[in-house]
Amino acid sequence: MSNWLDLLQTLVPEAMEMLKTRYEILNAIECFQPIGRRALAEKVGLSERILRRELDFLHSHGYLSVSTSGVLLTDKALELMGQAQLVVREAYGLTLMERELEKRLGLTKAIIVPGDYDNDDSVVYNMGRAAATLIKETLKSDSTIAVMGGWTVARVADMVSGHYPDVMVVPARGGLDEEVEIQANTVASKLAEKLGGKYKMLHLPENLDPKALEALLLDKRIRDAVNTIRNADILLYGIGRADVMARRRGLSSLNVARLLTKGAVAEALGNYYDENGQVIDKAPSLGIEITDQPNLALSVAIAGGREKVLAIVAALRNSNGQILVTDQGTAPEILANIK
pLDDT digits (tens, 9 = 90+) for 91-124: 788 999 999 999 999 999 999 999 999 998 889 9
Instruction: Kindly provide the residue ranges of all beta strands, DSSP E only, lying in the chain, ordered along the sequence.
Output: 64-67, 70-73, 109-113, 144-147, 168-171, 198-199, 234-237, 240-241, 266-268, 271-273, 279-282, 298-302, 323-327
Residue 41: pLDDT over 70: yes
pLDDT at 188: 93
Q: Residue 125 — φ and ψ, nearest 5°?
A: -70, -40
pLDDT digits over 136-188, tens only?
Answer: 999 999 999 999 988 899 999 988 888 999 999 999 886 655 667 778 889 99
Mean per-residue pLDDT over the chain, rounded:
87
Task: Return d(Cα 122, Cα 109) in angstroms, integer.
Answer: 22
Whether 325 and 301 have beta carbons less than 8 Å apart is answered as yes
Q: Is 65 a residue whose pLDDT tops 60?
A: yes
Quickly state the pLDDT bin for 6 (edges 50, 70, 90).
low
What's residue 121's pLDDT? Answer: 86
pLDDT bracket for residue 207 (50, 70, 90): low
Asked whether the predicted pLDDT for residue 69 surpasses 80, the reply is: yes
Rg (CA), the chain: 21
pLDDT of res. 206:
64
Residue 250: per-residue pLDDT: 81
CB atoms inside a 10 Å sphere around CB 333: 17
Q: Does the pLDDT of residue 7 top 90, yes or no? A: no
CA–centroid distance for 160 within its chain = 12
